[in-house]
């Protein structure tokens, strides 16, 4: 077993610093690739099946084959957690179309490449951020028209999130041509109305079908918390009771300012806290169940 941090590339585990891809990999040259991020808490993979479902959908939309069987991929995911000694952290998975002579036309015979890395995160730091809430700034949505595919072509996201960070922000909220919030640079966007109703945008090509978003919608149903799936504007968000963003690595993260203006009372709200607790109960239950089936199989 390699010492230290471990990466996986096309069937081989190696030291993270030694891992490499071919110079003509289409993921490098064209961002002809998709990715997933799996949160690990207490050594358990959260929302594993939903992430794999979305991976297969993204690959299908781009006509890229699964690089290995789903069952074998689950083995690799767990081995990455084990070899990297991850207790709380995440596993990053990327599938590229593979290696081919550089050409804009899609090659007919390329073999997809599978790349995985893993690293721990500071759970205490995330909880501190959740306790304080975060700042968000809005920006025009200049991304491509297929944001439902989890593509690695993230340059607009990188630029917008960095611009937000330069102003003291944690995240950006993209706004479409009609003035409605689409989603964050790496999160889904939510508000809580004055009546306590959670609101998030409906799925379409304009936003990524967030796995955590879907799990939270299920948690809302389970807990009997009112919600609506519809669009909302920056103005409505500023007049809302609460706001939050959702992601695999952050769960439900409260938003306390938008474009430098206070949302609600400027502190994380009780509804978003309840939603985070409901999500963690659901996600932990499913992760334990998946681990139990794996151990008994």
pLDDT in tens, 86-108: 999 999 999 999 999 999 999 99
Average pLDDT over residues 50-60: 98
- Give the residue numbers marked as catalytic: 150
Cα–Cα distance, 254 to 268 (Å, whole number): 5
Domain spans of the chain, in order of start: 6-121, 126-284
In the block, tokens 């479409």 appear at: 176
3-class secondary structure, 21: coil
Closest CA to 220 of 272, 256, 182: 272
Give the confidence band of 65 by pLDDT, cuts at 50, 70, 90: very high
Give the confidence band of 68 by pLDDT, cuts at 50, 70, 90: very high
Mean pLDDT over each residue of the chain, to the nearest integer? 96
Cα–Cα distance, 261 to 267 (Å, whole number): 12
Report pLDDT for 159.
98
Q: Give Cα separations from 247 to 9, 105, 276 (angstroms).
A: 25, 34, 11
Report pLDDT for 99.
98
Cα–Cα distance, 225 to 149 (Å, whole number): 29
The two most distant CA atoms of the chain are separated, in Å, by 57
How do beta strands 33-41 and 242-247 pair?
unpaired
Whether 169 shows a pLDDT value over 60: the answer reads: yes
Whether 70 shows a pLDDT value over 90: the answer reads: yes
Fold annotation for 6-121? D-amino Acid Aminotransferase; Chain A, domain 1 (3.30.470)
At residue 127, φ and ψ (nearest 5 deg) are -65, -35
Please name the residue ranges forming H helices in the chain.
26-30, 48-61, 70-83, 123-132, 155-166, 211-223, 234-238, 270-296
Average pLDDT over residues 158-177: 98
Report pLDDT for 279.
97
pLDDT in tens, 195-211: 999 999 999 999 999 99
Give the confidence band of 1 by pLDDT, cuts at 50, 70, 90: very low
**Can you identify the CATH homologous superfamily of domain 126-284?**
D-amino Acid Aminotransferase, subunit A, domain 2 (3.20.10.10)
Distance of CA 70 to the CA centre of its chain: 20
Q: How many CB atoms lie within 10 A of CB 266?
A: 10
Closest CA to 97 of 153, 149, 50, 28: 28
74, 294 contact by CB (below 8 A): yes
Helix axes 70-83, 48-61, angle to 10 degrees: 120
193, 199 contact by CB (below 8 A): yes
How do beta strands 33-41 and 44-45 pair?
antiparallel
Entry pTM: 0.95
Report pLDDT for 188.
98
Burial class (CB in 10 A: 0-12, 13-18, 19+), 62: middle
Give the confidence band of 3 by pLDDT, cuts at 50, 70, 90: low
């Amino acid at each position: 077993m390699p010492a230290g941090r471990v990466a996986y590339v096309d069937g081989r585990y190696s030291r993270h610093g030694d891992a490499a891809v071919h110079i003509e990999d289409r993921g490098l040259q064209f961002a002809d690739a998709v990715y997933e991020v799996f949160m690990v808490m207490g050594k358990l993979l959260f929302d594993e099946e939903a992430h794999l479902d979305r991976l297969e959908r993204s690959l299908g939309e781009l006509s890229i084959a699964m690089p290995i069987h789903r069952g074998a991929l689950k083995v690799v995911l767990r081995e990455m957690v084990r070899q990297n000694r991850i207790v709380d952290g995440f596993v990053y998975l990327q599938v590229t179309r593979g290696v081919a002579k550089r050409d804009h036309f899609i090659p007919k015979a390329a073999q997809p490449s599978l790349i995985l890395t893993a690293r721990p995160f500071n759970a205490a730091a995330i909880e501190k951020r959740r306790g304080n809430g975060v700042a968000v700034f809005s920006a025009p949505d200049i991304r491509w028209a297929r944001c439902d595919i989890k593509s690695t072509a993230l340059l607009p996201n990188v630029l917008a999130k960095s611009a937000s960070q330069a102003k003291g922000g944690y995240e950006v909220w993209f706004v479409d041509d009609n003035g409605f919030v689409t989603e964050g640079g790496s999160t889904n966007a939510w508000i809580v109305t004055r009546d306590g109703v959670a609101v998030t945008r409906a799925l379409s090509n304009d936003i990524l079908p967030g796995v955590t978003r879907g799990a939270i919608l299920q948690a809302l149903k389970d807990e009997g918390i009112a919600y609506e799936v519809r669009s909302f504007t920056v103005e409505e968000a500023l007049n809302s009771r609460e706001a939050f963003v959702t992601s695999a690595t952050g769960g439900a993260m409260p938003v306390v300012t938008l474009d430098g203006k206070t949302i609600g009372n400027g502190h994380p709200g009780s509804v978003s806290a309840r939603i985070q607790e409901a999500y963690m109960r659901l996600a932990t239950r499913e992760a334990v169940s998946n681990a139990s089936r794996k151990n008994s199989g």
